[in-house]
Amino acid sequence: MSQILKPGEITQRYGKLFCRGIYTLVDEKNNRARIIEECIAKGPVEWDAANRRRAGGAITDIRVEGTTLIMDTIIGERDVQFGPVSKDVGGQGLKALKVEGDQVRTTWVGLAGASVGIGACIPQGPGTIEAVYPDDFSIGGAHRVEVSVVTPKMVRVVYAVDDTDTKEKGASWVLMLNMARSAPIGHFLEHKIVQLNPNVPEKTTNCVAVAASFAVKPEDLDALTEYVVQFIKENTYSQNTTIAMYVGLAIPAKAQEYGHRAKREIMTVDQATDTAESCGIRLIEVTGKRGSIGAVAGIGCFDMGMAAAALPDDID
């Protein structure tokens, strides 16, 4: 037997804890997912990251960015291994992630004090629909617990734009950040300024593309895209603005290669269009086509970390 509790009921039972949000993004085409867990402090996410990395299970990569824990996972199930120290220090891990229609079910295993994070903190966080507990569930002590957390199925969408300003006015990075912060749909994840070839003759000042990513329910994707296009159309100063849009967790290798080249070479609209077509990147012409060159590079460089913002010579 099991018991199903809503986030409010979990808060009443265990008190208000520390999760500020939990978002589960899936990329079924590539059989991968990403869980983003936002906390109020860095200490808990670092401790959770160390424990979940040790346990293995369905997690393939885990990292901490500020007070946010980002976990890349498979879609499926793998055994969690706490190791010989588990009886002394406890542990926690992700056993399974499964897509069930428009929802995602993650199954977590915790031991001793580490069970608080997966048994009480995540389940009451914003984004959780419900949590499923065994009837004999108990947190802390020497107990080994297993909890399933149900969240909405979401996808990652990346919007990249180029050529929105002139030498006299405008700044693409400001435009995109204002757009992302004011978006009424989805959950704003990341904002990236992508440095491109500074020797491009048509540049305004810095020659950058700018991108922003969101977690969004699939059924809300069209509405979010409509908002993004309208916002940029109303705020661009250029007659050459283009948006590139990509849905998924794995940026195609050809797009990454194009992004690297755009940092060193002078690319063409045709090269950008060909890359977009072969990589599943949608191009949306707002006021003109030339912005597609940088917009596609913004998608290609989006997951490069600090290298995205670097000048070409700084990457080597």
> Which structural domain, as residue segments, surrounds residue 167?
163-315
Where does a domain end: 120, 153, 186?
Answer: 153
Number of domains into which the chain is organized? 2
Is residue 158 in a domain? no
pLDDT at 4: 94
| 232 in the same domain as 302 | yes
Tokens 């608080």 -> residue: 116
pLDDT of residue 11: 94
HEC states along the chain?
CEEEECHHHHHHHHCCCCEEEEEEEEEHHHCEEEEEEEECCHHHHHHHHHHHHHHECCEEEEEEECCEEEEEEECEECCECCCCCHHHHCEEEEEEEEEECCEEEEEEEEEHHHHHHHHHHHHHCCCCCEEEEECCCCCCCCCEEEEEEEEEEEEEEEEEEECCCCCCCCCHHHHHHHHHHHCCCCEEEEEEEEECCCCCCCCCCCCEEEEEEEEECHHHHHHHHHHHHHHHHHHCCCCCCEEEEEECCCCCHHHHHHHHHHCCCCCCHHHHHHHHHHHCCEEEECCCCCCHHHHHHHHHCCCCHHHHHCCHHHHC
- Looking at 123, 153, 183, the residue that finishes a domain is 153
Q: Is the domain of 209 the same as that of 278?
A: yes
Residues 216 and 91 in one domain: no
- Asked if 196 and 62 sit in the same domain, the reply is no
In this prediction the pTM is 0.92
Rounded distance, CA 248 to CA 259, Å?
A: 17
Mark whether 183 and 278 lie in a shared domain.
yes
Residue 101 shares a structural domain with residue 144: yes
Mean pLDDT by 10 residues, the chain (316 residues): 90 93 97 97 93 93 96 96 62 94 95 75 95 80 82 98 75 94 97 90 73 98 98 94 97 97 94 98 96 96 94 70
